[in-house]
Amino acid sequence: MKKVLALMLCFALTIGCLTGCGKAPAGEEAPAEGQNETTEEQEGAQAPENEDPGVELDMSKTVKIGVLVSDSTTAESLAFQSYYKDYIASNYNVELVYSDELTDAAGEKSAIDTFITNNCKAVISFSSFDRMAQLEQCAGAGIYYAVATGTLTDDEYAQVKDNEYYVGAIGPSLEIEFQTGYDMAKYYLDQGKTRFAIFGGAIPYYTEMHIYRAAGMLTAMVEAGGGDYQGASDKDAIIGKLFETASIETGSIGSVEILGYVGGYDMDDAWFAKCGQMAQTEGLEVILAVGNGSDFFGSSIAGTDVKIASVDAYATAYGEAMEGGMLDYLAGKFSASIGPIFIATYSATLGAPIRTEDGCALALSQGYWVATSAEQFNEFYAVDSSTEAPAYTKNMLDTLLGTDYATFEAFVSKYSFEEIQTMQ
């Protein structure tokens, strides 16, 4: 016991010495600016005062960039990882360091600590438990921070837009999430379908993007059905209702009927029974899913006329589901959509950050590719999954390195499949 205690004491002292002295980067005890105590390595990450987009960027040194992973197993996150690992990492002089799957804010903070330890010059975040804390931590350590496939709220953006370490956010805004749900429901309402069921995904956990997509669906139903949803008849009121209940009530919205609702991802016997009974509800025409629908309801509707519409990404499984009739409509993020935020981040680490005309961080919205047939899906998927010529190729992305805001904004705003094909 005594020997072990003595050894532990020695170990503690070693740790103490190492944490207390040596190269101390701007960390948790660093001043807010985090500039005076940055390491030699991090000096390269300092935001230069006078950037000149026209200057030649020095890309000879490998830049480490940390990637905060929110999910290791969904089609969407794997497609994103694949684009970074298989395309970006082999075409740019970067080393991408990935976190484990993150489940809470503590995990995010811990992962950023690991990135700082690994001398990452920037962090691209797919995780959204506490984005403001992520940025604060990165800025404190003098490294850049960017949000991929998401956006900050207006209030949050107003707080951080001037932070020199905040690169910005590119992804579907909540407005686009709303529109995605709206378009999906409208697609079927225009076909004369009136009997729906909704899969609410993470609505019970108050996940904003799922709530907004569902609100879009309900708004389209209110408009088409001529009634109201639980007394709410406009967009804001419906969003408020969903935040209040974290669930969707079944029943009639004028001439439109919501025959069933399942939320959450409990994945136990009761939950699968609920999914099965919802998919097999008599008279059901369409299942609208705020996330992945075919994986949970596809087998239950096999051989029926019920249609499934999902929001996710372009993955092989969905192509097969579309060909098999288990998926009818897919609003999918394309994997290369995270290319521009990478370029913006990389550019910043090279000393040429891309800012708005007012010198603020980026806040650009990007939407989905919508496939309504297997042929269309295959066309999109062929481009999306290509490691040779993905939607955004190196040549296209290179034009953004150190560019001005207008060029960057114009590039990002043309995100539809056709527009991107034209750019190529």
Q: Using CB under 8 A, which of the segments 52-60, 172-180, 233-241, 318-326 binds other proteins?
A: 318-326
Measured distance CA(181)–CA(177) in Å, rounded: 6
Does 105 sit near other proteins (CB under 8 A)? yes
Cβ proximity to other proteins, 386 vs 416, nearer residue = 386
Sign of the dihedral defined by the CA atoms of residues 214, 220, 224, 230, in that order: positive
Q: Which of 44, 53, 204, 351 binds other proteins (CB under 8 A)?
A: 204
Q: Does 193 bind other proteins (CB under 8 A)?
A: no
Q: Determine which residue in the list 48, 226, 240, 324 makes contact with other proteins, applying CB under 8 A.
A: 324
Q: Which is nearer to other proteins, 18 or 50 (CB)?
A: 18
- 271 lines the binding site for other proteins (CB under 8 A): yes
Nearest C-alpha neighbor of 387 from the set 336, 346, 342, 313 = 336
Residue 116 CA, distance from chain mean position: 22
d(CA 262, CA 275): 7
| Candidate segments 9-17, 166-174, 340-348, 377-385, binder of other proteins by CB under 8 A | 9-17
Asked whether 196 and 287 are in contact (CB, 8 A), the reply is yes
Q: Restricting to residues 30-89, which ones interact with other proteins according to CB under 8 A?
A: 39, 41, 72-73, 75, 78
Question: What is the closest distance, in whole angstroms, from the C-beta atom of residue 80 to other proteins in the complex?
Answer: 12
256 — phi, psi (to 5°)?
-100, 140
Stretch that binds other proteins, among 102-110, 146-154, 221-229, 231-239 (CB under 8 A): 102-110
Return the residue of 168, 298, 332, 353 that touches other proteins, per CB under 8 A: 298
Q: Which is nearer to other proteins, 309 or 401 (CB)?
A: 309
What would the two tokens of residue 54 be?
Answer: 């026209």
Residues for the chain: how many in total? 424
Q: Which stretch binds other proteins (CB under 8 A): 127-135, 143-151, 158-166, 170-178?
A: 127-135
Amino acid identity for residue 339 in this structure: G
* Whole-number Å distance between alpha carbons of 126 and 147: 6
CA–CA dist 82, 179 (Å, integer)? 27
113 touches other proteins (CB under 8 A): yes
